[in-house]
């Protein structure tokens, strides 16, 4: 793995237009769902990211053929030779667990590694397993693998999918993907309502699945016997868009985001407005202009349509320069605060109290060498570095490359000064 670093010189003021890529977190479960539709599927709007390549590798290992070509991926799922998700792959990318439901529904069995540890905290998969068991799967854990069988086939039923922190995005994806081929009717209560789940449901419907209540916490599925391969375009990445909004906000910038669905970002737009940063809808996206006088605010992360946990770190960076004190509360992943120590190295004033962080606004951030720890925490360091005085060096940029397509090229095109170096 190349250990690239970013050298970021600030402060800058961003201006211009940025085109948002397709959504990573919509693409990954949709790729897995093509297992349900034997044949040649074509997915469009797929970002060129390392996580996408990892999912291709996982699917190729089981006998699928994948071919990525500038924003589209052809996935031929005609043959599944072994319904298996290797530890070496799933430990690198938790979304690998998304193949469990589709494999079980199509092949009647699956063996997928339990995902490994994660920098954003403990992330169990009990809700995934509970949902699949309710559909009739027999599940055992063996040598770190989830071994699942559905000998007589899966059977529809009523399933409650809530957990201690609300709904689960990928558990909903897994159980929904299994239920579309189950016999009879399934009702999923407390389904996740994130746009990425809606996108998966819409893709499954295009394959021939019968799903109602899409976008709501109650999904009703009438099982069908088989699904057909599709051509499908995934939604734009709302988290990438939100990250660029944060970058504009912190740099007194004026950015136009193209290929952005503002209706997926209402909680974020609402917070930006309360921070005195207007965002206007345009024909294919939005426009943000920040005069740099950022008002403090309180942010609580919640399941959709609440403020997304995947933007908590980036908005913490912005609030570091607000004109007063803000409180950030993390309600999805209570330990997702690896960025606090690194932002503090840049002269931010942050105090953690359990799942709350008190952000006392400072006059300026100062460049420092910092370490990327996970995808969104690293994005927060880039956002902070754009406004910080001096040259920030962000180490372990491979975390950012998992989820942001050409981030330095996109930012440099609107006025950032970021240099990538291989060390």
Closer to ligand EPZ by CB, 232 or 404: give it.
404
CB of residue 173 vs ligand EPZ: minimum separation in angstroms? 7
Task: With residue 88 as reference, give the H or E element that holds it.
Answer: helix 87-90
> 289: buried, middle or exposed (CB in 10 Å: 19+, 13-18, 0-12)?
middle
Q: Which two tokens stand for residue 262?
A: 């503002």
With contact defined as beta carbons under 8 Å apart, do 177 and 183 qualify?
A: no
Alpha-helical regions (H) of 144-237: 169-179, 195-207
Closer Cβ to ligand EPZ, 118 or 205, answer by number: 118
The answer to whether 270 and 302 are in contact (CB under 8 A) is no
Residues of this chain that bind ligand EPZ (CB under 6 A):
25, 28, 94-95, 123-128, 163-165, 168-171, 192, 196, 309-310, 332-333, 375-376, 403
Structure tokens at 317: 């960076």
Residue among 56, 64, 118, 203 flagged as catalytic:
118
Nearer to ligand EPZ, 117 or 164 (CB): 164
The residue (of 124 and 278) whose beta carbon lies closer to ligand EPZ is 124
Give catalytic status of residue 286 as yes or no.
no
Rounded Cα distance, 103 and 181, in Å: 11
CB of residue 254 to ligand EPZ, shortest distance in Å: 27
How many angstroms from the chain centroid is the CA of residue 291? 29
Contact 95, 350 (CB under 8 A): no
Question: 4 vs 125, 255, 365, 420, 421, CA distance in Å?
Answer: 32, 27, 23, 7, 5
117: CB partners within 8 A, 6+ apart = none
Nearer to ligand EPZ by Cβ, of 271 and 376: the residue is: 376
Catalytic residue numbers read 118
């Amino acid at each position: 793995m190349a250990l690239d670093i970013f050298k970021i010189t600030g402060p800058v003021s961003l201006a211009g237009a940025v085109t948002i890529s397709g959504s990573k977190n919509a693409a990954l479960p949709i790729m897995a769902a093509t297992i349900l539709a034997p044949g040649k599927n074509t997915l469009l709007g797929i970002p060129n990211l390392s996580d996408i390549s990892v999912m291709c590798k996982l699917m190729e290992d089981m006998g699928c053929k994948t071919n990525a070509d500038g924003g589209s991926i052809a996935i031929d799922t005609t043959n599944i030779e072994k319904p298996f998700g290797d530890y070496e792959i799933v430990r690198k990318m938790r979304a690998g667990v998304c193949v469990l439901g589709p494999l079980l529904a199509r092949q009647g069995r699956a063996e997928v590694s339990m995902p490994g540890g994660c920098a954003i905290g403990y992330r169990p998969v009990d809700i995934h397993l509970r949902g699949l068991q309710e559909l009739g799967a027999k599940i055992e854990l063996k040598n770190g693998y989830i071994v699942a069988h559905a000998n007589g086939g899966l059977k529809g039923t009523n399933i409650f999918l809530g957990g201690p922190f609300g709904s689960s995005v990928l558990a909903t994806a897994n159980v929904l993907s299994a239920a579309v081929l189950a016999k009879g009717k399934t009702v999923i209560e407390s389904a996740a309502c994130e746009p990425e789940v809606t996108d998966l449901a819409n893709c499954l419907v295009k394959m021939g699945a019968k799903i109602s209540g899409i976008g709501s916490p109650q999904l009703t599925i009438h099982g069908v016997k088989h699904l057909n391969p599709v051509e499908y375009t995934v939604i734009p990445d709302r988290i990438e868009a939100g990250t660029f909004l944060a970058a504009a906000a912190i740099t007194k910038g004026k950015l136009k985001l193209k290929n952005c669905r503002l209706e997926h970002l209402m909680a974020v737009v609402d917070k930006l407005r309360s921070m005195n940063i207007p965002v206007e809808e345009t024909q294919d996206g939005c426009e943000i202009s920040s005069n740099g006088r950022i008002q403090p605010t309180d942010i609580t992360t919640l399941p959709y349509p609440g403020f997304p946990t995947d933007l908590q770190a980036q908005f913490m960076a912005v609030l570091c320069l607000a004109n007063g004190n803000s409180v950030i509360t993390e309600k999805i992943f209570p330990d997702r605060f690896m960025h606090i120590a690194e932002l503090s190295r840049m002269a931010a004033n942050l105090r953690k109290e359990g799942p709350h962080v008190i952000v006392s606004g400072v006059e300026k951030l100062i460049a420092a060498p910092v370490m990327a720890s996970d995808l969104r925490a690293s994005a927060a360091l880039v956002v902070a570095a754009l406004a910080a005085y001096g040259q920030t060096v962000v180490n372990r940029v491979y975390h950012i490359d998992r989820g942001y397509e050409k981030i330095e090229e996109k930012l440099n095109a609107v006025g950032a000064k970021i240099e990538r170096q291989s060390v």
